[in-house]
Amino acid sequence: MSRPHVSIEQATGADVEAVHALDDACFGVDAWSQESVRTALTGPHRHALLAHEGEELVGYAISMLGGDVLDLQRIAVAPGHRRSGLARVLFDRLCQEGAAGRAQRLMLEVSEANASGRAFYEACGLTEVARRPAYYRDGSAALVMELPLTPEDEDVVEAHLARERTDVAELAELAEREEWRDA
Ligand SMILES: CC(C)(COP(=O)(O)OP(=O)(O)OC[C@H]1O[C@@H](n2cnc3c(N)ncnc32)[C@H](O)[C@@H]1OP(=O)(O)O)[C@@H](O)C(=O)NCCC(=O)NCCS
């Protein structure tokens, strides 16, 4: 039996419940309330992308545009789907769409204690520009990280999107092979 393909699309108000459930599974005590998720998906200057495998929500990335800064507020992948490049696909797509708009840099805060989040952002080329001590509820510091975004011409954006379509197809193929191997 083949596994459904991964698709990436923009979130709408209809996705609040599913994103809230996945946020809860990924962030536990730091998960957003349902109202915060609704604002994050539908509020002004927000941009949210969802990754579905078949009907299942397996990842999401939420950003907010302020001036020329794209603030990455959340990115998460369901625990059983990690380390297969899914967050990277969401991240690249968010950056391209931000750069195609008016964003000149992407910024975010990540807890110093979040080893996987930090490793992911470093792999994406972000660099630390500031540190806010005792920022989170558990007393950990926030690292402020930044990535310049270069506006690209239409051909380059299209080439990126084509590569991502291939990435998504490859992810689905990989998932299919894994299922075949596990069977
Ligand atoms: C961080 C997170 C989004 C990464 O998602 P993912 O789909 O597993 O990431 P990818 O597969 O796209 O990883 C791309 C690269 O990032 C790095 N990376 C990702 N997770 C890593 C980990 N746990 N340890 C070390 N490096 C990691 C690796 O270089 C990886 O490339 P590789 O697998 O070829 O080595 C995921 O672990 C998650 O949802 N964590 C909980 C939520 C969270 O902390 N989000 C970030 C703060 S908002």
Rounded to the nearest 10 degrees, how much is the dihedral formed by the CA atoms of 150, 126, 128, 44? 70
Q: Are 26 and 79 in contact, with CB atoms under 8 Å apart?
A: yes
Ligand 1 centroid from CA 75, angstroms: 10
Nearest CA to ligand 1 atom 40: 76
List the structure tokens of 17: 């419940």
Mutate to test the pocket of ligand 1, among 50, 71, 120 (most ligand atoms within 8 A of CB): 120
pTM of this prediction? 0.86
State which ligand 1 atom lies nearest to the alpha carbon of 91: 12
Which amino acid is located at 19 in the chain?
V
Confidence at 150, pLDDT banded by 50, 70, 90: confident
> Which CATH superfamily, name and number, covers 6-104+149-182?
Gcn5-related N-acetyltransferase (GNAT) (3.40.630.30)
Determine if ligand 1 sits within 6 Å of the CB of residue 121. Answer: no
State which ligand 1 atom lies nearest to the alpha carbon of 77: 39
Determine if ligand 1 sits within 6 Å of the CB of residue 117. Answer: yes
Least trusted range by pLDDT, from 7-16, 39-48, 97-106, 173-182: 173-182
State which ligand 1 atom lies nearest to the alpha carbon of 90: 12
Rounded to the nearest 10 degrees, how much is the dihedral formed by the CA atoms of 168, 101, 49, 63? 130
How big is the chain, counted in residues? Answer: 183
Least trusted range by pLDDT, from 2-11, 26-35, 121-130, 167-176: 167-176
Ordered by start, the domain boundaries in the chain are 6-104+149-182
Could you report the per-residue pLDDT of 4-31, keeping only the tens digit for each? 689 999 999 999 999 999 999 999 988 9
- What mean pLDDT is predicted for residues 133-157? 84
Please report the pLDDT score of residue 5 as a whole number.
86
Closest CA to 80 of 3, 157, 161, 144: 3
Contacts of 27 (CB under 8 A, 6+ apart): 76
Determine if ligand 1 sits within 6 Å of the CB of residue 11. Answer: no
